[in-house]
Chain A
């Protein structure tokens, strides 16, 4: 992320470069501001850590986390745990996506179907899903199965609900045009409903990623002997705050990377949109 910042480009003062510099700053505004805030935060945190204002028994510092991260990566089980959690998350999430989107389009399209399922979905959405975990473990065991199902359940609902909202919002003029050209429902799904819902679906995907990651970690906290969640829970019992925080940071970075990927996908699908014009 920060490789796009070139200090040399920022300190050049020749007039010809002034314009270029302004364009550079404008283009990478989001990255520059974001990076500055994160660096400031990390610096303050590290300072507090170095001044021993933080007890290693309760928390840790950035440098200690980085060292521990390297240690776990080279000599520990970090890779294995990350792969285990990642695999469960991925399978569950893909299942959520391939069921949530088509189901959402159908429910958004067919009013009666939606009336039929709406109460059920609302109930599932409102239900504290955490409370179901012991039950899911009874159903699927403590191995991968239960974690995959938890991710699926957590990610599917936001994707479904947002897809329904997207289809509900379709510009009626576009539907009219499609119908006037004798489009069949199947064609309308593919050429109007799906593209129109993409921004909504991606909002759902974003929420789904967050819920799914929480799901996979909590699933491992509950039961099992592998994965980042297990690593976190074990480190907690051993008062290894740095290892625990390595786990948290790994999940956080995974979440941020997935969100950035989602943003890429969104841009790809929205390249037709006129550039956003607005204030600072």
Chain B
């Protein structure tokens, strides 16, 4: 079983075709102890183009992680539809990869074996191909020389690089990232953002990226989706037109700051609305 893997650089064909389409999706958690349902988000519709980088921001608890887990297939949805490349999806699939907030690397595997892990689980790569792809991805995320280290011997930023390499190694069509840099200090974080853009420009994956930080979203994305809460839903989308490649100096550009402000104001409104709701209860 040979998987015809295009090198990431070669798969870069920016087309405006919709890759991931979600329509009228809702998700309810069932709380066993209280025997009640909790509506995490409702009536979410989102369309992400092939090769597009979409960032989702929103107040804590608005259902961002839930939405991403549903897209990853880790939570089964029963309201709404979701297609990737036109095909309906339910459950995890080889066309998606997740970069988790906690690096969730296997502590007893070395960096190299961790990067191989996703490919091993998918059972569609030949051993030689797994080895060469793992080496390639480790180089891509800048971890060359650390292949034999265990996760406990890496810094937080390096663990997240390994996490990213593991996700990229399976050559997914859609890359899902849930606050991957949240645990990093401000400097490492900025550095990783720039690095991610570099890697993304080489691989041209479709990316859905969740973050708490507005400047991170605006800096990385082609489009920022703002979610509101109670129940979680999409409030507004901001197209971000800054020229690529983007460098970190963009963050000091007045236009950049103005965009962040717009997004921030919307989230603030949302937070105030919740406070009013809370006070009324």
* Residue positions of A touching B, CB distance < 8 A: 171, 173-174, 176-183, 187, 191-192, 195, 269-274
Within 8 A of A (CB), among B120-139: 120-122
B93 at the A/B interface (Cβ < 8 Å)?
Answer: yes
Q: Are B108 and A173 in contact (CB under 8 A)?
A: no
Q: Which residues of B contact A273 (CB under 8 A)?
A: 107, 152
Q: Which residues of A contact B118 (CB under 8 A)?
A: 181
- Which residue in chain A gives the minimum CB-CB distance to B124? A182
Q: Are A181 and B74 in contact (CB under 8 A)?
A: no
* A174 to B107 CA separation, bound complex (whole angstroms): 10
Q: Are B94 and A182 in contact (CB under 8 A)?
A: yes
> Nearest 3 pairs between A and B by C-beta?
A181-B121, A272-B150, A183-B121
Name 24 A/B residue pairs within 8 A (Cβ), A-sorted.
A171-B104, A174-B104, A176-B104, A177-B98, A177-B100, A177-B117, A179-B74, A180-B72, A180-B74, A180-B92, A181-B97, A181-B117, A181-B118, A182-B93, A182-B121, A182-B122, A183-B121, A187-B120, A191-B117, A192-B106, A195-B106, A272-B109, A272-B150, A272-B151
Q: Are A272 and B104 in contact (CB under 8 A)?
A: no
- Which residue in chain B gives the minimum CB-CB distance to A188? B121
Q: Given that A177-B98, A180-B92 are contacting pairs, would A274 and B152 also be in contact in the complex, using a CB cutoff of 8 Å?
A: yes
Q: Given that A182-B93, A274-B153 are contacting pairs, would A191 and B104 also be in contact in the complex, using a CB cutoff of 8 Å?
A: no
Q: Which residues of B contact A271 (CB under 8 A)?
A: 150
* A15 to B116 CA separation, bound complex (whole angstroms): 49
Q: Which residues of B contact A274 (CB under 8 A)?
A: 152-153
Shortest CB–CB separation between residue A188 and chain B, in angstroms? 9
- Total interface residues in chain B, CB < 8 Å: 26
Q: Are A178 and B121 in contact (CB under 8 A)?
A: yes
* A187 to B93 CA separation, bound complex (whole angstroms): 16
* A26 to B117 CA separation, bound complex (whole angstroms): 38
B102 at the A/B interface (Cβ < 8 Å)?
Answer: yes
Q: Are A191 and B106 in contact (CB under 8 A)?
A: yes
Q: Are A191 and B73 in contact (CB under 8 A)?
A: no
Q: Are B107 and A179 in contact (CB under 8 A)?
A: no
Shortest CB–CB separation between residue B89 and chain A, in angstroms? 12
Q: Are B97 and A180 in contact (CB under 8 A)?
A: yes
Q: Are A181 and B104 in contact (CB under 8 A)?
A: no
Shortest CB–CB separation between residue B235 and chain A, in angstroms? 28
B160 at the A/B interface (Cβ < 8 Å)?
Answer: no
B170 at the A/B interface (Cβ < 8 Å)?
Answer: yes
- Which residue in chain B gives the minimum CB-CB distance to A171? B104
Q: Which residues of B contact A171 (CB under 8 A)?
A: 104
* A191 to B104 CA separation, bound complex (whole angstroms): 13
Shortest CB–CB separation between residue A145 and chain B, in angstroms? 39
* A270 to B106 CA separation, bound complex (whole angstroms): 12
Q: Are B93 and A173 in contact (CB under 8 A)?
A: no
* A115 to B19 CA separation, bound complex (whole angstroms): 44
Q: Which residues of A contact B93 (CB under 8 A)?
A: 182
* A271 to B152 CA separation, bound complex (whole angstroms): 11
Shortest CB–CB separation between residue A154 and chain B, in angstroms? 30
- B72-106 interface mask toward A, CB cutoff 8 Å, 1 = contact, 0 = none? 11100000000000000000111011101010101
